[in-house]
Amino acid sequence: MHPAGTLGTQSTGAEEPSQDALDLSEGAAPLPSIGIDPDVFGPLGTQSAATPPGHASDGVFLRCRNEMSGAYSRFQTDPARTGPVNFIEGTAFMPDIRATNTVFPYLYLGGQPRQGRAADAGIYAVQDGAWIPVINVEGKQKNIARENGEDGFQYVYRLSGNQSASMRMSIPHDGALRLEISGSWLKFRVTPKGVVLVGDSGFATREILHEEAIGWKTAGEDQVFKVMTTIAFPGRGDFRLLSGNYAFRGSSWRELVVGQLEGASGKPWRRPLAPGMLWSACAQPADIVTVTPDSALPNIRASIKLRERAALALPSGSTFDLTAPVRQTVRSTLAFANQGVPESFVHYALTPLGREHTVKSESGVLAVGEQHTTRLDAVCGSQAGTEERATNLLYAVGETYDGSVPSALPGAQKGDLLYRAQPVIVRLTCTDPR
Please list the residue range(s) of the chain that carry CATH number 2.60.120.1270.
38-305
Query: Does 54 score more than 60 pLDDT?
Result: no
pLDDT at 31: 86
Fold (topology level) of 312-431: Immunoglobulin-like (2.60.40)
Encode pLDDT of 237-296 as tens digits. 999 999 999 999 999 999 999 999 975 556 889 999 999 999 889 999 999 999 987 778
- If one looks up domain 38-305 in CATH, what number appears? 2.60.120.1270
Name which residue leads in pLDDT, 356 or 404: 404
Structural contact between residues 183 and 164, judged by C-beta atoms closer than 8 angstroms: yes
Query: Does 23 score more than 50 pLDDT?
Result: no
pLDDT at 192: 86
Name which residue leads in pLDDT, 57 or 261: 261
- Per cent of the chain over pLDDT 70 is 86
Encode pLDDT of 334-381 as tens digits. 999 999 999 999 999 998 887 655 568 899 999 999 999 999 999 998
Encode pLDDT of 197-224 as tens digits. 999 999 999 999 999 999 999 999 999 9
> Of 35-44, 164-173, 197-206, 425-434, where does mean pLDDT reach its minimum?
35-44
Structural contact between residues 81 and 278, judged by C-beta atoms closer than 8 angstroms: yes
Interstrand relation of 319-325 and 420-431 (parallel, antiparallel or unpaired): parallel
Encode pLDDT of 136-178 as tens digits. 999 899 999 999 999 999 999 999 999 999 999 999 999 999 9
Structural contact between residues 135 and 63, judged by C-beta atoms closer than 8 angstroms: no
Query: Does 55 score more than 50 pLDDT?
Result: no
Encode pLDDT of 286-324 as tens digits. 999 999 877 789 999 999 999 999 999 999 999 999 999
- Per cent of the chain over pLDDT 90 is 74
Query: Does 22 score more than 70 pLDDT?
Result: no
The model's confidence at residue 50, banded by pLDDT at 50, 70 and 90, is very low
Q: Which of 392, 427, 431, 430 is CA-nearest to residue 321?
A: 427
pLDDT at 49: 34
Structural contact between residues 182 and 202, judged by C-beta atoms closer than 8 angstroms: no
pLDDT at 27: 61
Please list the residue range(s) of the chain that carry CATH number 2.60.40.10.
312-431
The model's confidence at residue 58, banded by pLDDT at 50, 70 and 90, is very low
Is the four-CA dihedral 293, 296, 301, 302 of positive or negative sign? positive
Name which residue leads in pLDDT, 37 or 135: 135
The model's confidence at residue 64, banded by pLDDT at 50, 70 and 90, is confident
Cβ-Cβ contacts under 8 Å for 420 (sequence gap 6 or more): 394, 395, 396, 397, 408
Distance between CA atoms of residues 365 and 347, nearest Å:
4
Neighbouring CB atoms inside 10 A of 407's CB total 21
pLDDT at 42: 67
pLDDT at 355: 60
Structural contact between residues 390 and 350, judged by C-beta atoms closer than 8 angstroms: no
Distance between CA atoms of residues 307 and 90, nearest Å:
30
With helix as H, strand as E and coil as C, how does the chain read?
A: CCCCCCCCCCCCCCCCCCCCCCCCCCCCCCCCCCCCCHHHHCCCCCCCCCCCCCCCCCCCCCCCCCCCCCCEEEEEECHHHHCCCCEEEEEEEECCCCCCCCCEEEEEEEEEECCCCCEEEEEEECCCCCEEEEEEECCEEECCCCEECCCCCEEEEEECCCEEEEEEEECCCCCCEEEEEEEEEEEEEEECCEEEEEEEEEEEEEEEEECCCCCCCCCCCCEEEEEEEEEECCCCCCHHHHECCCEECCCEEEEEEEEECCCCCCCCEEEECCHHHEEEEEEECCCCEEECCCCCCCCECEEEECEECCCEECCCCCEEEEEEECCCEEEEEEEEEECCCCCEEEEEEECCCCCCCCCCCEEEEEECCCEEEEEEEEECCCCCEEEEEEEEEEEECCCECCCCCCCCCCCCCCCCECCEEEEEEEEEEEECCC
Give the mean pLDDT of 86-101.
97
The model's confidence at residue 25, banded by pLDDT at 50, 70 and 90, is low
Give the mean pLDDT of 21-39.
69
Distance between CA atoms of residues 34 and 290, nearest Å:
17
B/e letters for 376-402, b = 16+ CB within 10 Å, e = fewer, are: bbbbbeeeeeeeebebebbbbbbbbbb
Q: Mean of the per-residue pLDDT values for the chain?
A: 87
Structural contact between residues 49 and 39, judged by C-beta atoms closer than 8 angstroms: yes
Query: Does 21 score more than 50 pLDDT?
Result: no
